[in-house]
Amino acid sequence: MASGGGNNRNGTHRNSLKGTTTTSTVSTDKPLSVNSNPSKPAFKNKSSPLTGASSGLRKSSPGSLGGGAAKDDAGVPGRVRVAVRLRPRNAEESVADADFADCVELQPELKRLKLRKNNWDTDTYEFDEVLTEFASQKRVYEVVAKPVVEGVLDGYNGTIMAYGQTGTGKTYTLGRLGEEDTANRGIMVRAMEDILAEVSPEIDSVLVSYLQLYMESLQDLLDPTNDNISIVEEPKSGDVSLPGATLVEIRDQQSFLELLRLGEAHRHAANTKLNTESSRSHALLMVHVKRTVKGREPAHSSDNGNSTSMARSLRPPLVRKGKLVVVDLAGSERIDKSGSDGHTREEAKSINLSLSALGKCINALAENSAHVPVRDSKLTRLLRDSFGGTARTSLVITVGPSPRHRGETASTIMFGQRAMKVENMLKLKEEFDYKSLARRLDIQLDKLIMEHERKQKAFEVEIERMTAEAQNRISEAERNYADAVEKERLKYQKDYMESIKKLEEKWMMNQQNQGNERKEQMVHIAEEVAEVKKLLSKETSLRKAAEEEVDNLKSQLAQLKMSEASANSEILKLRKMVEDEVCQKEKLEGEISMLQSQLLHLSFEADETRKRLDRGGPGKVPGRLDSPVSQVRSQLKDSGNGEKASVAKLFEQVGLQKILSLLEAEDADVRIHAVKVVANLAAEETNQQKIVEAGGLKSLLMLLGSSDDETIHRVAAGAIANLAMNEKNQELIMSQGGISLLSTTASHAKDPQTLRMVAGAIANLCGNDKLQTKLRGEGGIKALLEIVKCGHPDVLAQVARGIANFAKCESRASTQGSKTGRSLLIEDGALPWIVQNANSDASPIRRHNELALCHLAQHEVNAKDMISEGALWELVRISQDCPREDIRTLAHRTLASSPDFIAGLKRLRINY
């Protein structure tokens, strides 16, 4: 503990105290060497309590709890003032130490204290003030505290601390309330009395916090729930503040006493709760004084006297802020000595950590050490700006007289001795109070605004008054003017009347003169009047007659108008009748066309029904599939004269153009019937020419391309097949893209009959010598070979017919020399199908293919392909088995004459 350290020093390093301690021998009271510090600042001297602190032996210490605050303009170095106070013997000591002399002896006039080491040896110490057991509280306050309080009132920080063993009178010195006897009032109460006496309540403020520091925890004695207050240090200024602590404004002494009482009660309660005594904790009273400096310029004002009073009023008021800290420190005795009080060693350490840290800091400051361990404890952090820093500091060390506590007393004395060497850097806390200046200026501004408003109002009232006055004057002037005008008017009127009167009189006179002349004139006039009257009566009768005439004409006009209206309504009626007639006619025409289409429909239905009956009838020759044309023709033939007659009749009745136009009818059914009728007509060779000339072929081809209906496709393709019988028509079909239309139709067809019709049409085209190349070029052969995929014998028969036709034409062209090279059928890959179907069970297929093979075989150029595709076998078979003799002979002749075939036969070892 701090006191322990101090004690050691006392014993072993006394010399290090640099002559603040003198050792005297037994007999002499005279110090061998007195404290060489010549500065004996009179604590009593109010005006300069700290003057001379920097002179003497003691070096000005750069160190302080404030972390070595440099001297600035406002900084004045000062030393910590240390007083020692001896407590009178108490009752217990009077008894227990009755036979022993006190261990201390005071020499107040020399400000010395003698500590008895033993019966023959004493140590003498010098202090700033030595207070005997008879020293009154008042005197103690005046020498220890008053200068500090005055400093606080002047804007310095100040600290008063009491240090000493428990029971030596620290609390007595600092905290006595003196309720029983005002003479006993301690430093706190007296300090507040002085402060309150100095401050003006309207402009200054006194705020108080009261705290307890125990085991490094800072508790608010004014609000016990607030038990861990944090310390905030302003890094720049080094100021310490406790934002969490309760601050109470003190306006009178009574409230301060109550606050101290309340704090004491809370301290007692807290200590009971913590199972400790107040001697273990530090009590801190903090008084913040803020004073407005009146009646003088700030110390560092640069006012040169030229400034106006306005400028002076704009200067913010100067305030001085001082903080007084009164610290009743914990008992300086070592804790272990105080016996078992339930604390562990660790706790015991922390209990007086702050006190020992304070001791260490004081040592460091006293020895001018570079490092002052301020941050080691809360107490030293709290006192950073109050002790050895920028504050005025007084320390009162309290000692008891009992020789039994000599050790503690000695260590307390050493603490005080070291503290005497600590220098403070005083700093005046003076600043401009901009806030209150702002407030003052606000008030001034308010006043000015009010004044302005007042003037404004007065001005407005004045303006109003002047306006009213002006208006009064104007109306008065107007009135005067009106009066004058009226007067003038009356005058003129009067004058006028008078002059009129005069003129009348004059006129009367003239009249009389002219009277005689007049009479003659009157007679003449009467004659004229009679004549005019006559004329007038004549005119009147004429007018009457004219009026009668007009009335007459008017009635005639009315009659005419009436008859015109009736004629108009008649016209309207007739017009309506005409419209109705037109409507009726249109209706009837619609009905006629409907009836026509119905007629078409019915006739075709009848046709179909008849065909169906015929097909199912007995005696039909099976396998008559030479061509759909012949079929249709035969159907027409079979249907008898009645049917033919009906179609022919229809043809006549309706007309070909009409029928063909129905091919483009909107109604799908009508289109179907129309195409059927056209197909029927096309079956008759006599009609074909007419149909083509009327554009029927073109319409049918277009129908193939435009319609999606399979029936239409089938019937149209049939009709085209019939028309394709004719060579001229064949060319027309080809020139109008017939091949591609037919092959597209085939590719979409689902009904074999459609395919049969398409194949029939192409087969007919295949028989045209002139169209060979074009037909092949447009894919006709390829289309046939596609169609065979359907496999229906009727369809295959048509394909075979087409191929045979094509082969025949080609053969003819080759023989004539107009064609050279391989057959286009072989080129387009038809040969395998021909060979495959050359021996078909269906005789039309077989016969056409046999013919095709024979035609192909005629030309040596096809021989090699034919041999490789197996046609040789078929030719041999045909030459032997074909029921038709001409074909048989043709085959035989071909085989016998072709060198390639002969070689092929040999290679196949066929004896031929």
Q: How far is the CB of 131 from ligand ADP (least distance, A)?
A: 8
Based on the shown chain and the rule CB under 6 A, indicate whether residue 401 belongs to the binding site for ligand ADP: no
Q: How far is the CB of 189 from ligand ADP (least distance, A)?
A: 14
Tokens of 360: 């260490």
Residue 807 contacts residue 825 (beta carbons within 8 Å): yes
The span of 38-46, 48-56, 163-171, 423-431 binding Mg ion (CB under 5 A) equals 163-171
Q: How far is the CB of 384 from Mg ion (least distance, A)?
A: 24
CA-closest candidate to residue 674, choices 685, 691, 484, 80: 691
Q: Could you tell which of Mg ion, ligand ADP, none binds residue 837, using a CB distance below 5 to 8 A set by kind?
A: none
Q: Which of 49, 155, 169, 388 binds ligand ADP (CB under 6 A)?
A: 169
CA distance 160 to 873: 145
Q: Which of 170, 288, 290, 671 binds ligand ADP (CB under 6 A)?
A: 170
CA-closest candidate to residue 11, choices 86, 108, 117: 117
Binding mask 28-67 for ligand ADP (x = CB under 6 A): ----------------------------------------
750 is in an annotated binding site: no
Q: How far is the CB of 441 from ligand ADP (least distance, A)?
A: 50
Q: Which of 58, 87, 116, 676 binds ligand ADP (CB under 6 A)?
A: 87
CA-closest candidate to residue 603, choices 648, 555, 658, 656: 648
Q: How far is the CB of 111 from ligand ADP (least distance, A)?
A: 18
737 is in an annotated binding site: no
Q: Rounded to an integer, what is the distance from CA 189 to the centroid of its chain?
A: 65
The span of 162-170, 442-450, 575-583, 674-682 binding Mg ion (CB under 5 A) equals 162-170
Q: Which of 171, 729, 814, 879 binds ligand ADP (CB under 6 A)?
A: 171
- Print the SS3 string covering 710-771: HHHHHHHHHHHHHHCCCHHHHHHHHHCCHHHHHHHHHHHCCCHHHHHHHHHHHHHHHCCHHH
Q: Which of 168, 409, 417, 743 binds ligand ADP (CB under 6 A)?
A: 168
Decide whether 43 or 163 has the Cβ nearer to ligand ADP: 163
Q: Rounded to an integer, what is the distance from CA 148 to the centroid of its chain?
A: 64
Q: Which H helix or E strand runs over 450?
A: helix 434-616
The span of 82-90, 171-179, 185-193, 245-253 binding Mg ion (CB under 5 A) equals 171-179
Q: What DSSP letter does each residue of 166-232 carry, written as one string?
A: TTSSHHHHHH---SS-GGG--HHHHHHHHHHHHS-TTT-EEEEEEEEEETTEEEETT-TT---PPPE
Q: How far is the CB of 4 from ligand ADP (least distance, A)?
A: 18
Q: What DSSP letter does each residue of 834-872 carry, written as one string?
A: HHHTTT-SSHHHHHHHHHHHHHHHTSGGGHHHHHHTTHH
Rounded to a whole number, what is the largest CA-CA distance in the chain? 188
Q: Which H helix or E strand runs over 678?
A: helix 668-683
Q: How many CB atoms lie within 10 A of CB 361?
A: 29
- How many CA atoms, within 13 angstroms, populate the side-chain half-sphere of residue 702? 10
Number of residues that bind Mg ion (CB under 5 A): 2
Decide whether 288 or 405 has the Cβ nearer to Mg ion: 405
Based on the shown chain and the rule CB under 6 A, indicate whether residue 873 belongs to the binding site for ligand ADP: no
Q: Which amino acid is it at 311?
A: A
166 is in an annotated binding site: yes
Based on the shown chain and the rule CB under 6 A, indicate whether residue 167 belongs to the binding site for ligand ADP: yes
Based on the shown chain and the rule CB under 6 A, indicate whether residue 912 belongs to the binding site for ligand ADP: no
Q: Could you tell which of Mg ion, ligand ADP, none binds residue 398, using a CB distance below 5 to 8 A set by kind?
A: ligand ADP
Q: How far is the CB of 174 from Mg ion (least distance, A)?
A: 8
The span of 38-46, 162-170, 539-547, 786-794 binding ligand ADP (CB under 6 A) equals 162-170
CA distance 192 to 324: 10
Q: Which of 63, 151, 164, 802 binds ligand ADP (CB under 6 A)?
A: 164
Number of residues that bind ligand ADP (CB under 6 A): 13
Q: Which of 22, 398, 772, 858 binds ligand ADP (CB under 6 A)?
A: 398
User: Running DSSP on this structure, what letter comes out for residue 59?
Assistant: P
CA distances in angstroms from 574 to 560, 567, 610, listed in the order given = 21, 10, 52
Q: Could you tell which of Mg ion, ligand ADP, none binds residue 756, using a CB distance below 5 to 8 A set by kind?
A: none
170 is in an annotated binding site: yes
Decide whether 328 or 850 has the Cβ nearer to ligand ADP: 328
The span of 44-52, 169-177, 426-434, 462-470 binding ligand ADP (CB under 6 A) equals 169-177
Backbone angles phi, psi at 737, to 5 degrees: 70, 30
Q: Which amino acid is it at 102?
A: D
168 is in an annotated binding site: yes
Decide whether 49 or 164 has the Cβ nearer to ligand ADP: 164
Place of tokens 């088995």: 881
Q: Which amino acid is it at 246?
A: T
Residue 490 contacts residue 483 (beta carbons within 8 Å): no
Q: Could you tell which of ligand ADP, Mg ion, none binds residue 393, using a CB distance below 5 to 8 A set by kind?
A: none
165 is in an annotated binding site: yes
* Residue showing the smallest CB distance to ligand ADP in the complex: 169
Q: Could you tell which of ligand ADP, Mg ion, none binds residue 172, using a CB distance below 5 to 8 A set by kind?
A: ligand ADP
The span of 166-174, 525-533, 727-735, 741-749 binding Mg ion (CB under 5 A) equals 166-174
CA distances in angstroms from 489 to 274, 484, 495, 499, listed in the order given = 117, 9, 10, 15
Q: How far is the CB of 172 from ligand ADP (least distance, A)?
A: 3
Decide whether 330 or 757 has the Cβ nearer to ligand ADP: 330
How far apart, in Å, do the first and last CA atoms of the chain sit? Answer: 148
Decide whether 171 or 729 has the Cβ nearer to Mg ion: 171
Contacting ligand ADP within 264-303 (CB under 6 A): 279
- Print the SS3 string covering 348-369: HHHHCHHHHHHHHHHHHHHCCC
The span of 87-95, 105-113, 187-195, 852-860 binding ligand ADP (CB under 6 A) equals 87-95
Q: How far is the CB of 396 from Mg ion (least distance, A)?
A: 13
Residue 335 contacts residue 343 (beta carbons within 8 Å): yes
Report the DSSP beta bridge partners of residue 318: 432
Based on the shown chain and the rule CB under 6 A, indicate whether residue 88 belongs to the binding site for ligand ADP: yes
Based on the shown chain and the rule CB under 5 A, indicate whether residue 764 belongs to the binding site for Mg ion: no
Decide whether 170 or 320 has the Cβ nearer to Mg ion: 170
Residue 174 contacts residue 326 (beta carbons within 8 Å): yes
Q: Rounded to an integer, what is the distance from CA 664 to the centroid of its chain?
A: 64
167 is in an annotated binding site: yes
Q: How far is the CB of 272 from ligand ADP (least distance, A)?
A: 17
Tokens of 504: 């009348």
Decide whether 146 or 170 has the Cβ nearer to Mg ion: 170
Q: Which of 37, 171, 332, 402 binds Mg ion (CB under 5 A)?
A: 171
Decide whether 170 or 429 has the Cβ nearer to Mg ion: 170
Residues sharing a CB contact under 8 Å with residue 418, sequence separation 6 or more, in sequence order: 6, 9, 17, 362, 363, 366
Q: How far is the CB of 76 from ligand ADP (least distance, A)?
A: 32
Report the DSSP beta bridge partners of residue 44: none
Q: Could you tell which of ligand ADP, Mg ion, none binds residue 381, using a CB distance below 5 to 8 A set by kind?
A: none
User: Running DSSP on this structure, what letter comes out for residue 240?
Assistant: E
Q: Which residues bind Mg ion (CB under 5 A)?
A: 170-171
Q: Which residues bind ligand ADP (CB under 6 A)?
A: 87-88, 90, 164, 166-172, 279, 398
Binding residues for ATP, as ranges, are: 164-171
Binding residues, as ranges, are: 164-171
